[in-house]
Chain A
Amino acid sequence: MTLIFYIAASVAVIATVLVITQTNAVHALLYLIVSLLSVALVFYTLGAPFIAILEVIVYAGAIMVLFLFAIMILNLGPQASEQERQWLQPGIWRGPAILAAILAAELIYLFVASGGQLPATTAVEPQEVGKALFGPYLLGVELASLLLLAGLVGAYHLARRPEPREQGGKA
């Protein structure tokens, strides 16, 4: 189980590095799906099978398909990839990469120095998650449903094409 965790973690990190360095949007999206699937495997090795399945279905499935639809609607061709390559000069990586490396080193130091090898593979079954979700967190579930409704209405309103009459009035 430990070996699977390390392999999945390495795949996740490498795939994420490829996501932020790709110039083609669809390639970056596919690498992100690989990263999310390996994080799902990490969840499984940590004893959270329910979350692993949800990661595959909702994150790698639904949310990434949403991105794919947006890329298809935007209709980005080869010239978009070329423009990305122009924006991504090697020089602009320097500042953010150094700052983020310092931040990552600090985080890793904190996690390593904080304690001594505490095991984190106590399996939490879906039944317990469901009991907690519809017990003490019931209000949170209601609020989450309200948030999804707001997201639905907001996305419909924002992505709507303007009416021709309205456009004429503006011009």
Chain B
Amino acid sequence: MASVSMEYGLILAGILFTLGLVGVLVRRNLLFMLLSIEIMLNAAGLAFVVAGARWAQPDGQVIFLFILTMAAAEVSVGLALILQIYRHMKTLDADAADEMRG
């Protein structure tokens, strides 16, 4: 089996992470910002799995499982917050939620 070198896996993780970062910086819609955060979390997990495959240890995959759990909990709470913001402000604009009034 021809092997993929570790550098290319890490480069893929880096590119996906920066794409997610651009998404968070550019978009004003809260839903798209949450999607971009998912991209970034997934890229971080990819870097862990690449490192785990390099040293033939299961630890990288275990950490990916924890990132997966964290992403699931974060998305459920984040989407609930977005629903509340939409109910209050009638918009998904991130700039509309900059006032600390309920």
A interface residues (Cβ-Cβ under 8 A, vs B): 1-2, 5-6, 9, 12-13, 16-17, 19-20, 25, 28-29, 32, 35-36, 39, 42-43, 45-48, 50-51, 54, 58-59, 62-63, 66-67, 70-71, 73-74, 76, 80, 84, 87-88, 92-93, 95-97, 99-101, 103-104, 107-108, 111-112, 114-115, 117-124, 128-129, 131-133, 137, 140, 144, 147-148, 150-152, 154-159, 161
- A70 touching B20 in the complex, CB below 8 Å, given contacts A120-B50, A132-B59: no
A67 touches B75 (CB 8 A): yes
- List, in ascending order, chain B residues with CB within 8 A of A154's CB: 76-77, 80
Complex Cα spacing A107 to B13, Å:
10
B interface residues (Cβ-Cβ under 8 A, vs A): 1-12, 14-23, 25-29, 31-32, 34-36, 38-39, 42, 46, 49-50, 52-62, 64-66, 68-77, 79-84, 86-87, 92-93
- A88 touching B26 in the complex, CB below 8 Å, given contacts A20-B32, A25-B31, A114-B7: yes
CB distance from B12 to the nearest CB of A (A): 5
Complex Cα spacing A62 to B80, Å:
16
- List, in ascending order, chain A residues with CB within 8 A of B75's CB: 63, 66-67
Complex Cα spacing A81 to B7, Å:
38
Q: Which of B5, B18, B64 contacts A100 (CB 8 A)?
A: B18
Number of residue pairs across A and B with beta carbons under 8 Å? Answer: 242
User: Beyond the given A66-B76, A104-B14, A133-B58, could you list 4 further A-B residue pairs with CB under 8 A, ordered by the A residue number?
Assistant: A13-B16, A16-B16, A54-B64, A117-B7
Tell me what chain B mostly uses at the interface: helix, strand, loop, or mixed. helix
Q: Which of B4, B14, B42 contacts A36 (CB 8 A)?
A: B42
- List, in ascending order, chain A residues with CB within 8 A of B1's CB: 1, 121
Complex Cα spacing A122 to B6, Å:
11
